[in-house]
Chain A
Amino acid sequence: MSSIIADADRTAPPKRITSKVIQPAWVRVLHWINAIAMVIMIMSGWQIYNASPLFGFVFPPSVTLGGWLGGGIMWHLAGMWLLVINGLLYVTLGIVTGRFRRKLLPISASGVIGDTKAALTGKLSHADLSTYNQVQKLLYAGILIVGVLIVLSGLAIWKPVQFQYLTAIFGGYDAARYVHFVMMASIVGFLVIHVALALIVPKSLRAMIIGR
């Protein structure tokens, strides 16, 4: 076996099989649990939205979860535990391992503008997946903040009496619903970009599954 590889190496440049880990195991596990939790929360949330729409549209039943309002609420308030426990683990580990600081900072306006231009002209390199470009840093740091806001506005809607100070911070019960909706829309927008880019650079998807 070893001689076959040695022969192959003579004709093609050597390829390092044991490349370094880009996404550690905890990131991968929490990422995919989060993906499942997100889909549950978004689809059941749309079901709940349909019972009393904030805008002049409802979500088609085919993309909602739960079948009716009561079912949607059941899914939403069950998925909430998965999302919150998983999210707390992610944020805690992200901070204590230094991953957030290392991966997401620093972000600069000029860096973001530069990398956005490079991306739009097809000049942004994806050779090194271990380092995020400025656009990625902004999106990943931004979605973390959105994640915190969607949980807090959700708590404000769920417990407007017990957590009334939180609800007041969002401008009251009705305003908290709009905040919750806008945060949902931000996450869906992020997901569209995130999934599209993962498909354009498949090795990034591979790294999120096997780590390398």
Chain B
Amino acid sequence: MLKKMRSLIIPGVDKQLLVKDATKLMPDLSRRRFIASGASFGALTLLTGCNVSDSLSADNLLTHISKFNDMVQAKIFNPNVLAPTYSEKDVRRPFPFNGFYSEDEAPQIDGNDWKLEVSGLVDNTKSWTLAELHKLPEVSQITRHICVEGWSAIGSWQGTPLRDFLKLIGADTNAKWVYFRCAEDYSSSLDMPTALHAQTQMTFKFDNQILPQSLGFPMKIRVPTKLGFKNPKYVTSLEVTNDYKGGYWEDQGYNDFSGS
């Protein structure tokens, strides 16, 4: 019946030639499927709403994942694992200066006027003079400082373990954070498990010499289990707190935990 109809509609045309031409024009089935798959993949991208050019939604997602990464790193962090230590000959001299300002803009602090303010969840909020801090028991470590940028340098650091000082001032070690403020308006939050790590140090000396201005005189916090920016220099105050107060770089998007 179909044949009859066709011969009625298109009289005098060679059927076989016509079909041959038609199939030439028509894409083959697999090609059509190929295009259809491509289209549905595009539709899927639209449906997920993940538009990379919409920087706000991408930023939101990235911030959430970064917070998730904080949690994962806190779980990975083993308080009993010590950072590798090195020998005297590995120490980088001079140790590189690093800051969000140039070296000649680094704060110049008079050690006689300087005091370390203590506040927050501690029994004793008395502030400490440099002379008093220098009398605390001194330990030494030669560890690698790893910068968030990727470079690293081995340094020789002397000072008091932060956890001993926290005990001394009667800090609530169940609190979440130790928050540091610095002379150059730098700041950083250190999670309590890291603050209590055996190698986390209130550092007063480099290479057995009083800290040079470039390395944070009179005191820096040396945290060999963290990236360099979590090692504040020119520290002026320490606060034990349950409130997350961020930090100079943390607020700009560097991952807060940044553990190594």
B-contacting residues of A (Cβ < 8 Å)?
Answer: 3-4, 7-8, 10-12, 15, 17, 19, 32, 48-49, 51-52, 69-71, 73-75, 77-78, 81, 157-162, 164, 168, 173-174, 177, 206, 209-210, 212
B149 touches A52 (CB 8 A): yes
A77 touches B69 (CB 8 A): yes
From A12, A160, A168, name the one whose CB has the most chain B CB atoms within 10 angstroms: A160
A162 touches B76 (CB 8 A): yes
Distance of A29 Cα from B65 Cα, bound (Å): 23
Instruction: Write the B139-178 contact mask toward A (1 if CB under 8 angstroms, else 0).
Output: 0000010111111100000000000000000000000000
Chain B residue nearest to A7 in the complex (CB): B19
A210 touches B33 (CB 8 A): yes
- In the complex where A7-B19, A52-B147, A174-B152 touch, is A73 in contact with B255 (Cβ < 8 A)? yes
Complex interface: chain B residues within 8 A of A73 (CB): 148, 254-255
Contact sample, A vs B, 7 pairs, CB 8 Å cutoff? A51-B149, A74-B253, A78-B61, A78-B65, A164-B84, A168-B84, A212-B33
A159 touches B76 (CB 8 A): yes
Task: For chain B, residues 78 to 135, give those with C-beta under 8 angstroms from any C-beta of chain A.
Answer: 78, 81-84
From A7, A73, A161, A210, name the one whose CB has the most chain B CB atoms within 10 angstroms: A161
Which of B23-31, B179-187, B204-212, B232-240 is found at the contact surface with chain A? B23-31
Chain B residue nearest to A173 in the complex (CB): B152
B254 touches A52 (CB 8 A): no
> Is residue B7 contacting chain A, with contact meaning CB distance below 8 A?
no
Complex interface: chain A residues within 8 A of B19 (CB): 4, 7-8, 11
Closest 8 CB pairs of A and B: A52-B150, A70-B253, A51-B149, A52-B149, A78-B65, A74-B62, A52-B151, A161-B83
- In the complex where A74-B65, A212-B30 touch, is A161 in contact with B16 (Cβ < 8 A)? no
Chain A residue nearest to B224 in the complex (CB): A161
B30 touches A17 (CB 8 A): yes
A161 touches B260 (CB 8 A): yes
What's the interface size class on B, roughly? 35 or more
- Mostly, the A contact residues are helix
A-contacting residues of B (Cβ < 8 Å)?
Answer: 2-3, 15-16, 19-20, 22-23, 28-30, 33-34, 37-38, 41, 61-63, 65-66, 69, 76-78, 81-84, 144, 146-152, 224-225, 249, 252-255, 259-260
B23 touches A8 (CB 8 A): yes
A206 touches B34 (CB 8 A): yes
- In the complex where A4-B19, A162-B260, A209-B34 touch, is A69 in contact with B28 (Cβ < 8 A)? no
Distance of A7 Cα from B2 Cα, bound (Å): 13
Complex interface: chain A residues within 8 A of B78 (CB): 162
Partner of B66 from A74, A161, A162 at Cβ < 8 Å? A74
- In the complex where A17-B29, A159-B260, A161-B83 touch, is A71 in contact with B253 (Cβ < 8 A)? yes
Chain B residue nearest to A40 in the complex (CB): B52
Distance of A172 Cα from B144 Cα, bound (Å): 11
Shortest beta-carbon distance, A10 to chain B, in Å? 7
Distance of A20 Cα from B23 Cα, bound (Å): 23
Distance of A177 Cα from B63 Cα, bound (Å): 25
Complex interface: chain A residues within 8 A of B33 (CB): 210, 212
From A19, A52, A177, name the one whose CB has the most chain B CB atoms within 10 angstroms: A52
Partner of A161 from B63, B225, B254 at Cβ < 8 Å? B225
Partner of A162 from B29, B30, B77, B254 at Cβ < 8 Å? B77
Complex interface: chain B residues within 8 A of A19 (CB): 30
A210 touches B34 (CB 8 A): yes
Complex interface: chain B residues within 8 A of A75 (CB): 62
A210 touches B37 (CB 8 A): yes
Distance of A73 Cα from B229 Cα, bound (Å): 14
Partner of A48 from B38, B144, B150 at Cβ < 8 Å? B150
Distance of A7 Cα from B18 Cα, bound (Å): 10
Partner of B81 from A12, A70, A161 at Cβ < 8 Å? A161
A77 touches B152 (CB 8 A): no
Complex interface: chain B residues within 8 A of A32 (CB): 41
